[in-house]
Amino acid sequence: MIFVTTNDLKKGMRLAKPVYNKNGVLLYGRDTKLTEQGIVSIKNFSLIGIYVLEPAEPLPPMSEDDIEFERFQTMAVFSIKDDMKALLARKVPPNLNRLADMIIKNYGGGDKKISFTQNLRSPSDYVYKHSLNVAILAALISGQIKESLEEQREIVIAALLHDIGKLTILDTIACKDEPDEEEREIIKRGIMDGYNLLEYSEITPQTKRMITQFQREVYDLNTAEENEKNTSLATGILMIADEYDKLTAMKIDESPMSEIAVLKRLMADETYSDRLVNALTDSINIVVPGVCLELTNGEKGLVIRENQENLLQPVVLGFDKNIVYDLEKTGDAVQIKDIMKTMDNRIIIDKERLEEYSNKPVHS
């Protein structure tokens, strides 16, 4: 699988991932060969590029949940883009409440984990995709801790709008995770401009308060209309969702941080509530049975059993020595180094080998 920019697409290339229109209707399925008309359609969608299969490469496995998640992301990005353009024009966003309700319906139930797949981002679409994914993660976390529907709705809408101000500055600066001092000042000015746009959004005072608290904590901006010093639970959810998505996102010119590294960072930082970090890990598939890993002893491995008490210490089958390690008992000798990914940033799952080795004796 390789990523090909839109300008380099050729007739006959096979799609590795489906292509949808703004309504979520499938236009081109996986393994479809590109036609001249298909290339024109993809260019009209302003896509930076797509993943295609190598000439002799078999179609990689992709679950129905993964396919549906990508379909929803595609459809929702078009929606949030329209909303943000409306706000920039000082108009009421037309889709905001409906989109928030869709996100909560699909991901806010708190009843199952999802595979949180990160799509490739460019500077021009970074804010849209980031805002959407923060909203999805916020729905997952708030659903996991059993927030009320009204509270969830306010949290998700706050997530959708929390970075609106970044659209008022250069996109190459807006998408930076670690801006320098001068760039940080530019971002702050953009965030302030975004704060002033919120009056056109028709959001509730509580939602606006969440956004202003977030801006105070993350950007050190005193835009809040109240003098609250304590960060609310809802703002804590926004901060974790924002940080996790920002660091694990896949960009054209920058490699994402590993989910493992990000989780360790969140767990070690007292800024983030343990309860909310646990709610995040209980909502997305990270170190679950079937996931392929790199271990610190140099081996590649397969998770065959989760550790409910410590996500980072599962039971793992090491491929090289064909030994099962309980990472809760191996100490520093064998631990997780990283998660193995596909080219399009999806976690590699090996269900067949999981079934074969799930009952193998454990080596401590």
* CA distance linking residue 350 with residue 355, whole number of Å: 9
* CA distance linking residue 274 with residue 308, whole number of Å: 15
Q: CA dist 10 to 37, 50, 199, 334, Å?
A: 11, 12, 46, 46
What is the four-CA torsion angle of 201, 207, 210, 214, rounded to 10 degrees? -20
Q: Is the pLDDT score of 246 beyond 70?
A: yes
Backbone angles phi, psi at 317, to 5 degrees: -90, 120
> What is the pLDDT at residue 141?
97
> What is the pLDDT at residue 177?
81
> What is the pLDDT at residue 23?
82
Q: Is the pLDDT score of 213 beyond 70?
A: yes
3-state secondary structure of 4: strand
Q: pLDDT above 70 covers what percent of the chain?
A: 91
* CA distance linking residue 288 with residue 8, whole number of Å: 37
> What is the pLDDT at residue 131?
96
Q: Is the pLDDT score of 227 beyond 60?
A: no
Which helix (DSSP H) or strand (DSSP E) does residue 42 occupy?
A: helix 36-44
Q: What is the DSSP string of 292-305?
A: EEEETTS-EEEEEE
* CA distance linking residue 79 with residue 331, whole number of Å: 48
Q: Cβ-count burial of 170 within 10 angstroms (0-12 exposed, 13-18 middle, 19+ buried)? A: middle
Q: Is the pLDDT score of 224 beyond 70?
A: no
- 298-326 pLDDT per residue, tens: 999 899 998 888 888 999 999 888 889 99
Q: Is the pLDDT score of 205 beyond 60?
A: yes
- 76-134 pLDDT per residue, tens: 999 999 999 999 999 999 999 999 999 999 999 988 889 888 777 888 889 999 999 99
> What is the pLDDT at residue 128?
94
Q: CA dist 331 to 232, 279, 297, Å?
A: 37, 26, 12
> What is the pLDDT at residue 132?
96
Q: Is the pLDDT score of 181 beyond 80?
A: yes
| Dihedral sign (CA 60, 61, 66, 72) | positive
Question: What type of residue sits at position 33?
Answer: K
Half-sphere exposure of 214 (CA within 13 A, CB side): 30
Q: Is the pLDDT score of 238 beyond 80?
A: yes
Bigger pLDDT: 65 vs 154: 154
Nearest in space to 130 (alpha carbons), one of 41, 290, 242, 277: 242
Nearest in space to 225 (alpha carbons), one of 236, 238, 216, 234: 216
Tell me the average pLDDT of the chain.
87
* CA distance linking residue 300 with residue 316, whole number of Å: 10
Task: Report residue 129 CA to chain centroid gap.
Answer: 8
- 274-298 pLDDT per residue, tens: 999 999 999 998 888 888 899 999 9
Work out the average pLDDT over 327-345. Answer: 82
Q: Please, are residues 336 and 343 in contact by the beta-carbon 8 Å criterion?
A: no
Q: Cβ-count burial of 287 within 10 angstroms (0-12 exposed, 13-18 middle, 19+ buried)? A: buried
> What is the pLDDT at residue 364?
53
> What is the pLDDT at residue 203?
92
> What is the pLDDT at residue 152?
96
Q: Please, are residues 169 and 127 in contact by the beta-carbon 8 Å criterion?
A: no
